Amino acid sequence: MSTSPSRRILVGIGNAGVTVLDLLSVECPGMTGLLAVNNDPDSLNASIVRDKIEVPEGDPGEGFRVIDDEFGRNVEGASAVILCGGLGGETGSFLLPALAIRAKSAGLTTMACVGMPFSFEGKHKRDLAERALEKLQEICDAVVVIGNDQLSGGSPSIAAVGEAFVLSDRTLLAALLALTGMLSTSGPVKITRADIHHVLGKPGALTHFGFGKAEGSNRLHEALERALKSPLLTPPGKGSALKESSMILLLLRGAKDISFAEVQAVVGKIEQIAGDSCQIKVGVHADGPLGSALELYLLASSGGTVRKPAKTSESNETGEPSSADSANSPSSRIGTIGTQLPQPPQPTGEEEMLSGHIEGAKGADELFPVQTKPASKSGKKVAATSKQMQGTLALDTYQRGRFDKSEPTIVEGEDLDVPTFLRKGIKLNPPTRK
């Protein structure tokens, strides 16, 4: 980690947030600018994070007033604050938006990285989480939302409960690393804050996130494959969510020898999946020691402001795992309930789940007007950008032809499977068809 302590502060809030910061400290020892905030003294005492703020137990509103000043002192001088935690609990759901407002009002770039509760955690938690998320998306410059239900691939019944939470924490950690990496300005190729805001700043949007890590000569392909396998990028039974995104953030982090050709190859591959109209913003952090593993992070979003009203929603979104996004019209809401009925009971019991869905749908209805307003506007905007982009992207789309699927021949940092004339940018006369 090469980010200087004063530049950005990572704040872990609530049990989930503190756990993630602990994981982070283990993963990247020596990382500074971490702050743990919790109302559970046991959790705080056990944490290895150095800077801690203990929130008095009891009413979170009262608690926030107590820590307000201390938090303000801690984030002073920073240029960005990234808040991290799980939504749904009393602490996280209240403190995350409250601290976001506090940071934002201090003039800092404020981002959040949050986990949404599993459906088996009950409707109360979900409601709280959704309201908090709505607020967060209003306040923050960027919000990464990790849907725990989607994460477990829509089949939480198979995974052990403990494993599901570990996976959730790990994914939050990766998302946090992705955000910090993208914010950090140390790499030779940068992602700007405007790009992050463009992708993650849309209220009501679904976040698509994937990460992969690999080493060895085929590291790039393996890392990309792992990233694309993430259920948040490629929901089981559906195509890649990248197709629905207008902009994708790609961060590569690893050894100094990450080559131009490798970056080129990964961008080409993502372009293939996402389509030409999608913009890909690339950040490269090639500052690790030689031989260190290559980490690849992909962040994108869909829906939210881009979504069109009721008409298309039925075909597109009935199967969406998150209840907040299903059921935009009464008819599709009934459809959702109908399809859910015959399934085997979840841990919370059939009845509660059913009501959960109705409540969830209600929540969606409340959110709906907020989402539809900007929909048509930015929908047009996206179409316009995609048209603009096509011309420039054609230059980047290198062709490997028959070597597309074989191990690349990389010599002196160049992918030599790509025709020489293309790499040298030499123009040819196209053949004339008869």
Partner 1 sequence: MANEQIFVGLEIGTTKISVIVAEARAEDQISILGVGETPSRGVRKGEIVDMETVTECVREAILDAEDKTNVEIGNVWVAITGSHLASFNNRGSLTLRGERQIEPEDLEAVEVNAKEVAIPTPNTFLHTILQAYHVDGNQNIIDPLKSEGALLEADFHIVHGIKTRIHNTLRCIESLKIGIEDVVLSSLASAQVILSQDQKNYGALMIDIGGGTTDYLVYIDGAIRHSGVLALGGDHITNDISVGLRLPIARAELLKIEEGSASDPVSSEGGIISLKNDPRFLGCDVDRISLETIIHLRVKEIFELIRRDIESSGEGMMDLIRGVMITGGCSKLKGIAQVAEEVFDIPVELTRARNVSGATQIFEDPQYSTAIGLTKYARLVTKNIAPESMLDRFTQGLGSLFKKRSR
Under 8 Å between Cβ of 221 and 268: no
- In angstroms, rounded to a whole number, what is the distance separating the alpha carbons of residues 296 and 305? 27
Which of 217, 388 has the CB closer to partner 1? Answer: 217
Give me the least distance between CB of 217 and partner 1, in Å please: 9
Q: Residue 273 or residue 416: which is nearer to partner 1 going by CB?
A: 416
- Each residue 78-117 as x (binds partner 1 by CB under 8 A) or -, in order, gives ----------------------------------------
* Distance in Å, CB of 221 to partner 1, minimum: 15
Name which of residues 402 to 431 contact partner 1 (CB under 8 A): 402-403, 406-407, 409, 411-412, 416-417, 419-422, 424, 426, 428-431
To partner 1, the closest distance from the beta carbon of 284 in angstroms equals: 25
The residue (of 169 and 417) whose beta carbon lies closer to partner 1 is 417
- The sign of the CA dihedral 289, 290, 293, 296 is positive
The nearer residue to partner 1, 335 or 419, going by C-beta atoms, is: 419
290: contact with partner 1 by CB under 8 A: no
Per-residue DSSP letter, 189: B
Q: Work out whether 433 is an interface residue with partner 1 (CB under 8 A).
A: yes
Q: In this structure, what are the phi and psi dihedrals at residue 9, rounded to the nearest 5 degrees?
A: -115, 130
Output 182 or 294, the one with its CB closest to partner 1: 294
Q: How many residues bind partner 1 (CB under 8 A)?
A: 25
Query: Rounded to the nearest whole angstrom, what is the least distance from the CB of residue 290 to partner 1 in the complex?
Result: 13
Residue 80's H or E segment, with its range, is: strand 80-86
Minimal distance, residue 294 CB to partner 1, in Å? 18
Choice between 22 and 271, CB closer to partner 1: 271
Distance of CA 421 to the CA centre of its chain: 38
Residues 76 and 89: their CA atoms lie apart, in Å, by 27
How many angstroms separate the CA atoms of 419 and 365, rounded? 54
Residues 344-403, interacting with partner 1 (CB under 8 A): 399-403
By C-beta, is 392 or 406 nearer to partner 1? 406
State which residue, 160 or 428, has the beta carbon closest to partner 1. Answer: 428
C-alpha of 44 from chain center: 26
- 8 A C-beta contact, residue 407 and residue 417: no
The reply on whether position 153 binds partner 1 by CB under 8 A is: no
Which one, 244 or 271, has the nearer CB to partner 1? 271
Closer of 58 and 431 to partner 1 (Cβ): 431
Own/partner pairs, 408-414, CB within 8 angstroms, 24+ separation: 408/261, 408/265, 410/259, 410/261, 410/262, 413/257, 413/259, 413/260, 413/261, 414/259, 414/260, 414/261
Give the x/- contact pattern for partner 1 in 182-201, rule: CB under 8 A: --------------------
Give Cα separations from 14 to 85, 167, 240 (angstroms): 6, 17, 32
Enumerate residues 6+ apart whose C-beta is below 8 A from 241: 206, 208, 232, 233, 234, 235, 300, 302
Contact 198, 278 (CB under 8 A): no
Minimum distance from residue 432 beta carbon to partner 1 (Å): 5
Query: Residue 420 CB, nearest distance to partner 1 (Å)?
Result: 4
Q: How far is the CB of 24 from partner 1 (least distance, A)?
A: 31
Q: Show contacts with partner 1 in window 117-146 (CB under 8 A).
A: none
To partner 1, the closest distance from the beta carbon of 228 in angstroms equals: 22
Lookup: tokens for 80? 């960005």
Cα–Cα distance measured from residue 3 to residue 80, given in angstroms and rounded to the nearest whole number: 12
Contact predicate 120/348, CB 8 Å: yes
Taking the least distance from each CB to partner 1, the nearer of 289 and 433 is 433
Measured CA to CA, the distance from residue 101 to residue 251 in angstroms comes to 28
Cβ at position 403, least distance to partner 1 in Å:
6
| Cα atoms found within 13 Å of the Cα of residue 24, Cβ hemisphere only | 29
Q: For binding to partner 1 (CB under 8 A), which residues are involved?
A: 399-403, 406-407, 409, 411-412, 416-417, 419-422, 424, 426, 428-434
